[in-house]
Homo-oligomer: A and B are copies of this chain.
Amino acid sequence: MNSFGQKFRVSLFGESHGRAIGIVMDGVPAGIPLSEQDFTEDILRRKSGAKGTTPRIEDDKPEILSGVFGGKTTGAPLTVVFRNNNTKSSDYEIFKVMPRPGHADFAAGVKWENFNDPRGGGHFSGRLTLPVVAAGVVAKKIIGDVCVNARLVEVGGVSGGEEQWRDVLDQAIKDGDSLGGIVECSIDGVPAGVGEPFFDSVESLISHAVFSIPGVRGVEFGDGFYAARMKGSEHNDPIISDSGECGKNGAGGVNGGLANGNPIVFRVAFKPTSSIRKPQQTYDFATGSIGTLEIPGRHDVCFALRTPVVVEAMAATVMADLMSR
């Protein structure tokens, strides 16, 4: 369903080209200073406009509908909505007949018997990560000194930073193709013992939240998949202080599903953007055979560029929930 969390619980709603998208946050402690300006910075980090992102700039103005009085949270549910103002719904009906490869068109059509809003991906749009970012802003305030930082560490197979992956981006733009990327996130300052065995382990909840982000293909903690190739004597981390500090943090800050006092570190693999300029093959339900589809509109060449703040928001949301319990 569209809710997540037990004590800090978020409920997401909206469709890409509907009236509005938004999120209700329940379990926000009373007395936290909050204004609409507080959302600006993180919303800007998600915004498009940079190289490799769509040139279409959305108006992402948050409106707080409830839960704040006199500049402070009230303890009652906090609701933030974003109006969808500049939607241009071109003919999305075609995607019911010729479902786009990599998108939810086909599966959503089956699930909701084609009553789903097809415009801009509807409820499955990456636009839904905007209210997620809003929840992240509030979650970060709740967890206080705990610090969540995510950054892109790889684009199109090239690690490093903007300098390094400029060339592959340029090439993909030229080719009408798209690229994926890898985001690394670190959560510093989580006290040892946070997390709930068996099913609400730190990794379980973080991966649950992160795999909800459209386009995620993998999540790994600490040494991650590489750990499967290590020996125990290499992967095991000696505890070196009475605060539980580990030398290498190959466990990514979690043992037995519980925070162990070290930074919680995980990586997220994002697939390349599904909508590309290149013509693609897909099944044509009108003709009953495979046809060629060209996807109109302007799209991110690498949407992963915009995701670090979304990953942060998910991580903060999980920590706000776990630490409030």
Contacts and interface: CB of A to CB of B under 8 A. Distances in A.
Interface of A: 1-4, 6-7, 9, 11-15, 18-22, 24, 26-27, 30-31, 63-69, 72-79, 81, 99, 101-104, 106-108, 110-113, 115-117, 119, 121-124, 128, 154, 156-157, 172, 175, 177-182, 191-201, 203-205, 207-209, 211-212, 214, 216-225, 227-242, 244, 246, 251-252, 255-261, 269-276, 278, 280-283, 285, 288, 290, 304, 325
Contacts of A285: 242
Contacts of A78: 13
Contact of A9 (B1, B192, B252, B271): B1
A76 to B, nearest CB: 4
A37 B97 CA distance: 32
A260 B124 CA distance: 14
A227 B269 contact: yes
Given A122-B74, A180-B228, A223-B271, A104 B256 contact: yes
Contacts of A251: 102, 271
Nearest to A17: B69
A75 B217 contact: no
B65 A229 contact: no
24 contacts: A1-B26, A1-B200, A13-B24, A13-B66, A30-B111, A31-B115, A66-B123, A76-B123, A102-B255, A103-B256, A106-B239, A111-B192, A154-B229, A179-B232, A180-B230, A201-B212, A204-B209, A217-B224, A218-B218, A227-B271, A228-B272, A235-B271, A236-B272, A244-B283
